[in-house]
Structure 1
């Protein structure tokens, strides 16, 4: 099997995600990803070194060469974070996506976008400020420190960054206001039932418009309170946790 083919295959999910978040439409994104792969088949990079950056640069060129009007393209985004992200101007959107989601350095991002490092830095800072959220940051509300630690470890395994934890309402509200995470993971019973995680999650979503995943041993309580809420059942299964995150976050 061609080593280059194998290497590119591992990157395909990432370029599809990048394209979808850049253009706002899964169907349009897949078309650009296909064009990108066709161009790669014709040019065949000679080295696997910097292959991932080369693939993303090829995708970027595919979109730019077509002169698609990304500011006016229709969107099928259903998640609040995704809709707010697509409201960013395109240069900011691309900078945040490549640097914060795909984890390219500033220099690599500038090469992919064919721009200066300083202009990319400015768009990155502006985009972050407008969204006021770290796309990989999660905040944990849990009064059992051992469970909080377990959630932190599982979150880190799938590429999330725990920006803070809280065990009660006041700590939680202050932490979410300070860190502006993209996701909150919350227990249902806090402090022996003194303050309910369900009521707290309602307050967080109303004040900060942050999605919440409930991590609880009592999933039936969540469904009675909020039908359709995303729940991870204790004891925590890593695969169930990962699937729940995919339902809520756009990346």
Structure 2
């Protein structure tokens, strides 16, 4: 394990900041709020010379520091700025405390139950229980129509199968920007899962923006092999981002999160 004084440790912390921002944004339901607390986390770590997080590797230290800062502020969520975000906050109030952070840390950020215990100051067994409770509560809360934008047939069928197993209806699979726009117009989805690069070299981002020009309140999950390239700090950013290759659990968690919290943040073209 690198010492907190070494350049390797500091460099590793810096490399994981985009993923902390992704987590903070998904946790709080707001890009602004998530970014503020991510920045406050870095300031706290620098001011304390990483003392509160010493004894862990850089990635765990960063997320642990965030939880110390966020929890000390009362574990706030983002201020609702629309009808959908207000509905999301109402849903959040119904969740069992601490479950959502455990699920996000495990399913989206890939931490083990032991790592989550270190980050949240709980046991690995408690972390596992929180994950299961969150999964049950979110998956049972909302069902709807899901559209898939993906040009690789096997991946598209895999995603569709996972979505259907969650109790949602798949409206169809589009391989290009034009197909996606037509499909959405013919059967408005409640959620979109979109790859970034499509079959005809068109952009999944452009397809989503075209669709949201018609329906501006559809939550979106983007899929990419290079998430750090999209988590740049420029506005707007995706609220939900799945990394390729993905696991079934990542898709299940992201779909449940997106349907539950109904975020409509998308990427600039």
Which TM-score applies when normalising by structure 1?
0.58
Instruction: Please report the RMSD computed on the Cα atoms of aligned residues, expressed in angstroms.
Output: 4.7
Asked if the contact 2:25–2:35 (Cα under 8 Å) also holds between the matched residues in 1, the reply is yes
Asked if the contact 2:148–2:194 (Cα under 8 Å) also holds between the matched residues in 1, the reply is no
Asked if the contact 1:211–1:248 (Cα under 8 Å) also holds between the matched residues in 2, the reply is no
Q: Deviations over 1:141-161 (max 9, x none)?
A: 88x9xx424xx3xxxxxxxxx
Structure 2's unaligned 5+ residue stretches are: 1-5, 141-145, 177-181, 216-223, 231-235, 242-269
Corresponding residue to 1:211 among 171, 181, 192: 192
Match of 1:10 in 2: 15
Which TM-score applies when normalising by structure 2?
0.55
CA–CA separation in structure 1 for the residues paired with 2:83 and 2:65 = 28
Corresponding residue to 1:43 among 43, 46, 49: 49
CA–CA separation in structure 1 for the residues paired with 2:71 and 2:113 = 20
SS at match of 1:228: helix
1:35-114 correspondence to structure 2 within 5 Å: 35-41=40-46, 42-44=48-50, 50-70=57-77, 73-76=78-81, 83=88, 87=92, 88-114=95-121
CA–CA separation in structure 1 for the residues paired with 2:43 and 2:19 = 16
Asked if the contact 1:19–1:30 (Cα under 8 Å) also holds between the matched residues in 2, the reply is yes
The answer to whether structure 1 residue 186 and structure 2 residue 173 are counterparts is yes
Q: Deviations over 1:115-162 (max 9, x none)?
A: 1222222221121122229xxxx99688x9xx424xx3xxxxxxxxx7
Distance 1:111 1:118, change over 3 A: same
Match of 1:164 in 2: 158
CA–CA separation in structure 1 for the residues paired with 2:113 and 2:7 = 31
Match of 2:123 in 1: 116
Higher relative contact order (CA 8 A, sep 6+): 2
* Matched positions, count: 200
